[in-house]
Amino acid sequence: MSEPDSSSPPAHPPRPIRSFVLRAGRMGSGQTRALAELGPRFVLPFRREPLDPQAVFGRRAPLVFEIGFGMGDATAQIAAALPGTDFIGCEVHTPGVGALLKQIGERELTNLRIVQHDAVEVLEHMIEAGSLAGIHLFFPDPWHKKKHHKRRLIQPDFVAKLVTRLAPGGTLHCATDWQPYAEQMLEVLGAEPALRNSADGYAPKPGYRPLTKFEQRGLKLGHGVWDLVFTRR
C-alpha cells in the first residue's frame, strides 16, 4: 500500500478575500444609456499595473478610494461636495455602475472615476503604495451568520493591505449599521499598529458622509449606525 502524497493540495484551500458577492440586478433605461454614453470616459479598465491619477484626472489632488459604492448616491454627493478631491469608486454590479454614471452626468462631475472590478485586486495592482488620502468603506455586507464572519471584508490581513495604500495622515473611514460588525471593526482596526483612532471609540459621523435613504429609514426605527475613522500614523 503506497504512502499518501503529502504534497497534494488541501481539499479546501483558504478562500481568497473578495470585496463583493455577485447578485442579480436589473438595469433601468437611464442606467443603460449612461453606461453607453459615459462609460468610455468615466469607467477605467482593470489593469495589473499602477494607474497614474494625474493622467486620469488631469491634475494633482488628494485621492480617495471607495470600496463598493452600491448605487452611488453617497459617492456622487461626496464628490460634488469636495471638488478639490479626486475619487475612484469600485463596484462590480453593473446597475450600480450605471446609476453612478447617470449621477456623474446629471451633476457634471469631473473628479470621479469608476473601476468595475473586485476592489481587492484593484488595490493590489492599480493603487500605488502611499498614494491615497482616504479610503471609504460604507455599509459592507455584515455576513450576519457566525459561520460566515470570515467573509467579512474587515479582517487583519486586508486592513494591513489597506494601510499600505494610505499616505501618512490618510484616513480609513468605515460605516456599518450592524453593531456586531461595528464591534469587530473597532477591534481589528484598533489592533493595527499603523493606524490611530481619530475618536475615543466610534467617531461622530463626518459631515461629508451623507445620510442614505436606507440609513434615514433605519434611524427613524431606532436602528444605530456606527462610523469609524482611523488615520495612518
pLDDT by position in tens, the chain (length 233): 444 444 444 444 455 555 555 555 688 999 999 999 999 999 999 999 999 999 999 999 999 999 999 999 999 999 999 999 999 999 999 999 999 999 999 999 999 999 999 999 999 999 999 999 999 999 999 988 888 798 899 999 999 999 999 999 999 999 999 999 999 999 999 999 999 999 999 999 999 999 988 788 888 889 899 999 999 99
On whether residue 35 sits in a domain, the answer given is no
Return the CATH number at 167.
Answer: 3.40.50.150
5 occurs within a structural domain: no
**Within a domain: residue 133?**
yes
Domain range enclosing 172: 53-232
User: Does residue 11 form part of some domain?
Assistant: no
Could you list the beta-strand ranges (E) of 33-189. 63-67, 86-90, 112-115, 132-138, 166-176
Nearest to 198 by CA among 228, 177, 222: 228
Q: What per-residue confidence (pLDDT) applies to 154?
A: 97
Closest by CA position to 62, among listed 91, 45, 81, 87: 87
**47 within some domain:** no
Q: Say how far apart CA 161 and CA 71 lie, in whole Å.
A: 26
Q: Is position 44 within any domain?
A: no
pTM: 0.88
pLDDT of residue 109: 99
218 within some domain = yes
Domain membership flag for residue 43:
no
At 4 the pLDDT is 45
Q: Give the chain's domain count.
A: 1
Report the alpha-carbon distance of residue 204 to residue 140 in Å, rounded: 19
Which residues are catalytic, by number?
141
Q: Three-state SS for 229?
A: strand
Q: Which residues pair with 229 in a beta bridge?
A: 173
Residue 27 has a pLDDT of 85
Round to the nearest angstrom and report the end-to-end CA distance of the chain: 58
